[in-house]
Structure 1
Amino acid sequence: MEAVAGIGCGSASASAAWRIGTGRSRAVGGAGGRGRVRVRVRAAGSSGSDVVEFEQVQGEKVRWAGDDPLAKFVSGLIAIKPLFSLLQTGAKNVMEMVEEMQASDVYAELKTLENPALVYPDYYIQPFHGYNTGNLSWEAAFDCEPATRALWKRTFPALDSWKEAGELSRGNWADAIDSHHASFSGGLPVGDVVDLGCSTANSSRFLADRFPTAQVTGLDLSPYFLAVAQRQEKDAMRKKPIRFVHANAECTGLPSKSFDVVSIAYVLHECPQSASRKILREAHRLLKPMGTLAITDQSPKSKAIQKLHPALWILMKSTEPWLDEFYRLDLEAELQECGFTNYRSALTNPRHFTATATAAM
């Protein structure tokens, strides 16, 4: 697998200029192919000496995902119901930052979006993220945006605000999509974009801003998330409003070969491998020939994730039941099996990767 480098960055004050650049990755240390890949990070217009590096671990899995004794110990701990409940409470406390979305008119959006005939897969109705009903609640929907803001701030703690951190991380992600599409689409314009598993549309809004002439569609299994997303989108007063669809990303019901870009942002780590494979096949079906798939999610090779304290591993696994399966997923091989080519992958912040690929002719 190619290690892709070059994420523009300098100091915190120069963060607005951090973008994917032209540096190259290099492997250092380790025997037998094991070691670390340093992803070079440079601020736009900076000198060669002004470089920070996001580090990936090469050829290693996350220590608490799998079948080794440590992984089994962590899984055993969170299977104990009193401890599981305690960890759920701790995780929820991190996310209890509910803001202005409890306005009364958001509830009316649900009726305009919900597909009452939709059957939810079993994995989706299990407890996760600290909620007994998963994403199928107003509580989860209202907490989603504050939790996303906290995520960005933790990812770039040196930055002054979550907004600055989010713009940096999303900007690197969008740059990766732009770069891949420009390189491999054969000049295919970006006219239609679908964001599978869009949640409350944080990623969808960024896509709409990056591709202002495109029609962006946000699709999600949670009608509560979509209701919040649609309410926020009305406030945006966009010339081409984002369209929202209540459907399963495994089988969307959308027309084949109808999108130039398909985005899957922070979705696969919440799915068993069987569902992830179906989502990838569906993404290929939706894309026009030479269209671009973009996946962003947690990176099992991130040095920041590899070095997490064991207590945080337990906390994460207590609210993310499918993490082990996600970390063992060979994404490049799965995409090749689906018919994708031109696979690229890069860290677009210290914890998360963006993988891009092309739908073959």
Structure 2
Amino acid sequence: VDFRFMLLIFCVYFSMSITQVAKQLMERVLQSRPSNVEKDGELRVLDLGCGVGMSTLAIASAFRREKDTNVTVVGVDTSPEMIAMARTKALEQKGITKLAETHQCPTKHRDKDWIQLPITTTTTTNTEFLEANAEKTPVPRESFDLVTIMYVLHEVPLRGRKKILREARRVLRPGGMLAVIDISQDYEPSPSMLSGEPYLKEYQQNFSKQMAALEGFRSYSQQIVVPGHVVVQTLVKKSNPRWLGFLW
């Protein structure tokens, strides 16, 4: 009974925090919009480790309420089952007005490997889902204004986290924002939770320092979303001379 209660509480916090963070990120990204995207240009968001698409759709919903904003939100996950569920959720989500358009997107790391992906479209917001590894996606470098990673990195070992963060840096445009939403350092996990989360304690001890020291970024900030449970940590990618591009 206690486990079920804790699971229910976690699900409530998860849902609340995703919606809250999506709105906050939308406001922050739009405030910095003049430096990243022209007024009539497209704003692109990449959601790494999207699972069944809850975070991706929450972000899309937040931006959908903003007038005169052309936004594409791309959710990425390595699980084909998760991606299939995410696409189903997108089709069912209220407010979607146009379904099953096609969009060319690479599925492997070879130029000729393309498929037609179904996407869901509103008047201003496209939502796409791509099956790929967050450590090495097939998307072009410097092609997104915001990269989000929600409730993923506490489940990943240190080496994997480094790869995912490097990939986020690669795909972000200069001036773009990286946002990591995850379990707070202050959260005290139960023994039963720790038994299924082998990397959680190490994540809580080290991740904030790891993210703050990430090369190629500036303006580290941390904000409490749900006290004692959820925080959002953000960075802004530095602008670098083009000749340094090979370092990323």
Shorter-chain TM range is: 0.7 to 0.9
TM-score, with structure 1 as normaliser: 0.51
Asked which structure has the greater RCO (Cα within 8 Å, sep 6+), the reply is 1
Moved more, 322-331 or 220-229: 322-331
1:359 corresponds in structure 2 to: 237
2:149 corresponds in structure 1 to: 264
Amino acid in the other structure paired with 1:202: M
Count residues with an aligned counterpart.
Answer: 200
1:204 corresponds in structure 2 to: 56
Q: Does 1:321 align with 2:198?
A: yes
Q: Give 1 or 2 for the bigger CA radius of gyration.
A: 1
Q: Does 1:173 align with 2:21?
A: yes
- SS of 1:250's partner is coil
Find 2:76's aligned residue among 219, 226, 236: 219
Q: CA 1:297 to 1:318, structure 2 compared with 1: closer, same or farther past 3 Å?
A: same
CA distance in 2, matches of 1:195, 1:294: 10
Q: CA 1:192 to 1:267, structure 2 compared with 1: closer, same or farther past 3 Å?
A: same
* CA shift for structure 1 position 231: 1.1
CA distance in 1, matches of 2:210, 2:203: 14
CA distance in 2, matches of 1:224, 1:288: 30
1:285 corresponds in structure 2 to: 170
More strand by share: 2
- 1:300-342 CA distances to partner (integer Å, 9 max, x unpaired)? 12xxx24x6xxxx211111112112212224344343331111
CA distance in 2, matches of 1:243, 1:288: 19
Measured on the aligned residues, the alpha-carbon RMSD in Å equals 2.5
Gaps of 5+ in 1: 1-89, 96-146, 156-164
Identity of aligned residues (%): 30
Amino acid in the other structure paired with 1:203: S
Amino acid in the other structure paired with 2:154: H
**Which 4+ stretches in 1 moved above 6 angstroms?**
none
CA distance in 1, matches of 2:86, 2:192: 28
CA distance in 1, matches of 2:217, 2:194: 31
Gaps of 5+ in 2: 65-69, 97-120, 240-248
CA distance in 1, matches of 2:126, 2:145: 18
- 1:136-183 CA distances to partner (integer Å, 9 max, x unpaired)? xxxxxxxxxxx7x75243x4xxxxxxxxx83x4234312442454356
CA distance in 1, matches of 2:32, 2:43: 16
